[in-house]
Amino acid sequence: MKGDTVLLDMAPCTETEVTVTREPSTHSWKRTGALLTITLCFAAAAAVIFFTVHYKKLHAVEADDLRHTLRQISGNVRAAIHLDGEYNKTLEILEWKQGMDQYHAELDLTLDNNEIVIPRRGLYFVYSQASFRVSCHLDHDSAARKMVHVSNAVKLCSASYRNTEECKNYETILHSVRTACEKKVSHNPKADDKWFGSVYMGAVFNLHEGDRLKTVMDNKFLPLLDDKSGNTFFGVFAL
């Protein structure tokens, strides 16, 4: 780099020409860059620490909320019962079984004489499903072809209209009918003409202590019940 010429008056010496060269401020820029880099590193580290701590706190709060919710659910068990059905060939009835498959019973909802007994007054959701395998085959052609219908019903014997200590009067509170098929002559003797389907129903009722619930269906379809696990069931739970 070309230097600047400066004239100095150096008395009593003669006028002398001195040349001074100004170097670029390289060290100053290096120090500024280093300080900026360190500052950015500290800022990034602080941001990481902040978000890590914040995430941990948020996660801890969510975990506490989940544990609180689970404690509320577990501590607020309501009356419930769920029964799986099985066709009893000897008695020719749909028998509701305890201790089978998905069976459970909570808070005094019990099964007595194949009927569910309500322990106390309140709102209850009552539900039932019956599954069938029905033959839609006719051995010969007939003008009197008939539609095949399957049904299921839940009946209630309530304290509000019970005449004696024993239930004699039952009122139908749930009833469902489904058309399975129309009986036809099969042109393929090897064809499987069986129809499989379910009849499900459920609703909310205001029930009283001692009320009894039972299921009723056409006896001719009882042997056609599909009583594999999860196909035919009966249950009640309090709201």
pLDDT digits (tens, 9 = 90+) for 61-103: 556 666 565 555 555 678 999 999 999 999 999 999 988 778 8
- The closest of 145, 142, 130 to 218, measured between CA atoms, is 130
Q: What is the mean pLDDT of the chain?
A: 77
pLDDT digits (tens, 9 = 90+) for 33-64: 666 677 776 666 666 666 566 555 555 555 66
Q: What is the pTM of this model?
A: 0.64
DSSP 225: B
Name the phi and psi angles at 167, rounded to 5: -75, 120
pLDDT at residue 186 in the model: 67
Integer Cα distance of 34 and 38 in angstroms:
6
What is the model's pLDDT at position 235? 96
State the pLDDT at residue 18.
45
pLDDT on residue 78: 85
Residue type, 207: L
Q: Which carries the bigger pLDDT value, residue 192 or residue 70?
A: 192
Instruction: Kindly state the percentage of the chain with pLDDT values over 90.
Output: 37
Per DSSP bridges, beta strands 93-97 and 110-112 are unpaired
236 pLDDT above the threshold of 90: yes
Q: Are 133 and 194 in contact (CB under 8 A)?
A: yes
Residue 12, classed as helix, strand or coil, is coil
**In the prediction, which pLDDT does 102 show?**
80
Whether the Cβ atoms of residue 171 and residue 153 lie closer than 8 Å to each other: no
At 184 the pLDDT is: 74
Pairing of strands 122-135, 115-117: unpaired
Higher pLDDT, 113 or 75: 113
